[in-house]
């Protein structure tokens, strides 16, 4: 288990390590856009990881290529469908809501 904090709401959840941020967010009841069902094809689950980036899986080629096509991407950007949670706490900022 690890702790996932959501901004801007400030809600905190205990979530399972080893699953994607998208699954953790959906399991917690958060509304997160994910038009392609987690295939890194649409970029709708783009978010900013404010704390705990080192606890997430490394960015793979498919995610990196999709991030390159999204306006507003920064050094804290990840696709929730591709970032797998580690053991350390993570704080994310949701950018879009369904």
Q: What DSSP string runs through the chain? A: -EEEEEETTTEEEEE-TTSBHHHHHHHTT-----TTSSSSSS-TTEEEEEE-GGGSPPPPHHHHHHHTTSTT--TTEEETTTPBP-SS-EEEEE----
The pLDDT, as a whole number, for residue 96 is 55
Q: Which domain does 74 fall in, by range?
A: 2-94
- CATH value at residue 58: 3.10.20.30
Q: How confident is the model at residue 75 (pLDDT cuts 50, 70, 90)?
A: very high
Q: How confident is the model at residue 7 (pLDDT cuts 50, 70, 90)?
A: very high
Model confidence pTM above 0.95:
no
Number of folded domains in the chain? 1
């Amino acid at each position: 288990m690890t702790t996932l904090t959501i901004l801007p709401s400030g809600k905190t959840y205990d979530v399972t390590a080893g699953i994607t941020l998208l699954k953790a967010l959906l399991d917690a009841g958060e509304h997160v856009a994910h038009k392609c069902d987690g295939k890194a094809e649409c970029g709708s689950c783009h978010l900013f990881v404010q704390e705990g980036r080192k606890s997430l899986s490394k960015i793979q080629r498919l995610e990196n290529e999709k991030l390159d096509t999204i306006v507003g991407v920064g050094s804290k950007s990840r696709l929730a469908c591709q970032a797998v949670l580690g053991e350390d706490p993570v704080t994310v900022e949701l950018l879009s809501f369904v």
